[in-house]
Amino acid sequence: MKKLFTLSIVAALVGCAEKPPLTPEQQWQGYCKSVGNAARTIMLDRQNSIEKQAAIEHAEKLEDPTTKKFILEIIEEVYQLSSDQVNDNPSEKREKIRAEVTERCQTTPFDEIPEYKPF
């Protein structure tokens, strides 16, 4: 019993150890994951009949120029699709756009990590 208690204390302490800071590449990967998740949400909005202009107005409030550029491009891409394309297998379409945008973002060169809230 004492051995189990000691082992659990050690495991807790190891879990609380300070994590090394993320490299710029790791930070960019996290940013791209967030942009991909935003793309999925934009597709969901489109599937729920949110008007393109409303999506653009919301995106225009973004302060970071890199994020705003990505989001406005995603809106254009998603709203070019026909209603049938968007609503045929809707969950599959959301996952597909998330994966495509994440990958596209990850291959985009970057100079600095944009200010963003993880999504």
Q: Could you tell me the CA-to-CA distances from 51 to 10, 19, 95 in Å, in that order? A: 54, 43, 21
What is the pLDDT of the chain when averaged over all its residues?
Answer: 87
Per-residue model confidence (pLDDT) at position 118 = 65
pLDDT of 21 higher than 50:
yes
CA atoms within 13 A on the CB side of 25: 1
**Mean pLDDT along residues 65-84:** 96
Q: Is the CB of residue 70 less than 8 Å from the CB of residue 35?
A: yes
Q: Is the CB of residue 93 less than 8 Å from the CB of residue 43?
A: yes
Per-residue model confidence (pLDDT) at position 82 = 95
pLDDT of 108 higher than 50:
yes
**Chain segment 81-106, per-residue pLDDT in tens:** 999 999 999 999 999 999 999 999 99
